[in-house]
Every structure is written in C-alpha cells, then in structure tokens.
Amino acid sequence: MAALTELLQSFDAEREGAELYQLVSDLYPICRSITGNGLRESLRLIQRTAPLSLHEVPSGTPVFDWVVPNEWNIRDAWIKNNRGEKVVDFHRSNLHVISYSTPVRQSMSLAELRPHLITLPDTPDWIPYRTSYYQETWGFCLNYRQYERLRDETYEVCIDSTLGPGHLTYGELRIPGGTDAEVLISAHSCHPSLANDNLSGMAVAAVLAQHLSGMSLRYSYRFLWIPGTIGAITWLALHEAELHKIKHGLVLSCLGDPGRFTYKRSRRGNAEIDRVAAHILAHSAREFHLLEFTPLGYDERQYCSPGINLPMGCLMRTPNGVYPQYHTSADDLSLVNSRSLAESLNTILHIIRFLEGNQRYVNLKPKCEPQLGQRGLYRQLGGTKNATAEEAMLWVLNLSDGEQSLLDIAIRSGLLFATLRAAAENLLEAGLLDEADRRRQ
C-alpha cells in the first residue's frame, strides 16, 4: 500500500506515457498470430520491461473442448501483376494476409483471385484484419482503392507460410505477495499490427508488472500475455486446480485511444473487482461507461464461462467493435497516444491500490464507542463539530463487523477511501480493530 500510494503521488504521466508508447511502437511492426515466431518475438521484447517466462504448449494438446492448433509462421506474401509489380505486399502491412493462410504459389486470373480478396468498401483506405485459424484457407486483405485498381490480368500470388505441428506460446509472470490469494491480469497478444487492440493492453500490463515487482503487496499478482480465446482456454485448462486462488482479475485491452473508460463487469456482476472498479471510475471526475457482463468480447468470455466463473472484469477505453478503426489498419500508432496510455495505467494502479487496501476489520470494542480521547484520537474540547478524521474513525468502528469492507464503509459514509484507510490504520495501531482475515486463520 505505502509504495503504491507513493507511486501514485509521484506518478509522472509524461514519463510513463512515453515508455508505454515506445513499447507499443516497438511491438507494432511484428506479425503476431495465435502461435508462431511473431508471438515469441513480442514476448521477448516485453521481457525487457517485465521478466515474464515464455511457455510452450505442443500442438495437439487437448484443452477442454479444444485442441491446441498447429503452429503458423510466415516469411513473405505478395501479389504481383503481369509487369512484376507487387500490388499487395506483406512487408508493407502484415494485415495484408489472412492470419493462418496456408502456403500458396500460383498464377491466376483476377476472377480466380477475387474470392481470396477481402476489402472494406465503406472505408476504402483501410485494410481489414481477418483470421482463419480453424478452417484451412488462404487470402489477402487490402484496401478498397487497391482492389479497385486491379485490372483483368494474370497475377502471381505468393504466401510463403508454414502451418504444422509446433507450439502455442504464452508469457506468464507471477509477482508474489503477502498471501497466495491472487489478482490475475490478462492481455491477449495475438493480433498483428493493431495498436489499440491489443498492443495497448500488452504494454500497460508490462509496465504495471514492472511497477509492482519488488513492492510489498497483500496479494500475489499473476500476469498473462496470451493468444486470445485459445490461449486463455489453454492456460485455464492447464491450471484448473489453481484457479481458486484468483480473487480478482482484469482483462486489459483498448487502453490507448482517447475515449472515456469502459468497465465491463464480471459474470458475477457484483464481485469486489466490479464494485471497486465502478467506485474508482465514479470518483474520477471523468465520464465513463459501466457495462453489464455479456458473453461477447475478449477473454472474459473464457474466464467468465459458467464452469470457470472467475471474478474478472474487463477494462477498456472505447470498447472493441465500437470505434470504427477496430480490426482494420486504421487501428495504428496514430489512434493511440501516450497520455491515454499513462492515464489507463494510472487508473489500474488506483484500482489495485484500492483492492490492496480494501480490508475488512473487526471492532474489538463493539459495545458503545471506545473512548478515543484518552487514546489521543479525538478532540478534547467538546461542543464543536467532528473533524473528518474523527468521523472516519466513528464510521470504521461502527461498521467493522468483519463482513463490511472499507469500500462498503466508503459507500455508506460518503468519505474518501484514503480517509477511511488512514482512520483504520490509527484504530489498528490503538488496538481497537483487527483485520478480519487474520482472525479467520
């Protein structure tokens, strides 16, 4: 707590934002997918910021209703016209190839090529992002203006990819805290050159992990950088026995755009993380959105599936599918900015500080008020109004029944969490409170 409070008090938004934006920029050119070397390269790049470990799960491993797929790698891809000019070139944008495209090297007419071309006629300058992980096919995505310029000639088509047994890679980092109880932070890491979805989440998770490392914390923190859907499913299947340790969690994505914050509740709807995130946003003096859980979106689909049902929400700015650039080449480095990234990190740090400090206490002198004055905790001259610090102590004493947390007391009293937390610390020191967790042991 103290280290977190200090970090927040001296939070240097400019420096944090610059570091986050640099990490997003460094990751941007790499062609990631749900498996393969681009994913490995990205995780190794993040290791410079946060000491995650790379884990490799062999293709063919059964994971719940799924099987880990073959590994996909790509070196090059292009379409040449009959003058030998590359009219589509993977090296100009890795979105040009449908992810998991099977290898191709072939000449064909425009008519034959067309079924393999995907465009967005409504936004003619943008290249769409498409995948075909589980049905073998190949194809190119291109902007509509490129597409319109294609003439009826013979094209040479090349996708220099491999698809075969290999591994699914994910990154994991556990920062041990005072207890085994864990907070899980998860960022999907399988998208190629898309900046807001998902590089912003990957980068914020990395810098967050960097900050938490070495701090003295109540909870242990587990970070995952995993391929979307199949990565979350794989990790959950391999760690089912340990899931009970996860007390709170956040899926991070879309954290770099200038939109307002959006918190999507866990399937439980009123988990502590849901209430804390809602409280932090409500007290931020900024506009925000709260969404109820839906089984669509990011990996909360898996973490909040009915047989897993972890208390995990999803923090975003503008949500997936809501901003027009979503899943197109326009989700590029110009869509995200260092100020938004830093603000996102700051908000998550506030949420974590609140979780860390959101204790439940037991009043050890519950019959009438204890005599605070004799303990130097109360004004001695009667007849004047209570100071806020005194009010806070009276609230904490009155409601600390071992069930109500400081969040509950903050909501009931209208007092700030920090004020209540300070009151609780004074009362603890005076021997008037105990931590509920400690008493349960």
The site for a second copy (CB under 8 A) is made up of 64-66, 98-99, 128-135, 137, 229, 232-233, 236-237, 240, 267, 292, 294-296, 301-302, 304-308, 321, 327, 363, 365-371, 373-374, 380-386, 391, 394-395, 397-401, 412-413
Six token digits for residue 111: 């008519």
Of residues 233 and 355, the one with the C-beta less far from a second copy = 233
With tokens 């409601």, the residue in question is: 399
Give me the least distance between CB of 8 and a second copy, in Å please: 29
CB 410 within 8 A of CB 360: no
Give me the least distance between CB of 305 and a second copy, in Å please: 5
Give me the least distance between CB of 14 and a second copy, in Å please: 35
Give me the least distance between CB of 28 and a second copy, in Å please: 18
Of residues 332 and 369, the one with the C-beta less far from a second copy = 369
Of residues 13 and 238, the one with the C-beta less far from a second copy = 238
CB 248 within 8 A of CB 273: yes
Give me the least distance between CB of 365 and a second copy, in Å please: 5
CB 168 within 8 A of CB 205: no
Alpha helices (H) along 48-121: 110-113
Tell whether omega for the bond before 198 is within 30 degrees of 0, i.e. cis. yes
Of residues 299 and 343, the one with the C-beta less far from a second copy = 299
Distance CA 416, CA 269 (A): 24
Of residues 21 and 361, the one with the C-beta less far from a second copy = 361
Distance CA 329, CA 79 (A): 19
| Amino acid (one-letter) located at 173 | L
| 277 burial via Cβ count (<10 Å: 0-12, 13-18, 19+) | buried
Distance CA 228, CA 299 (A): 6
Give me the least distance between CB of 64 and a second copy, in Å please: 5
Six token digits for residue 427: 């009362």
Of residues 214 and 382, the one with the C-beta less far from a second copy = 382
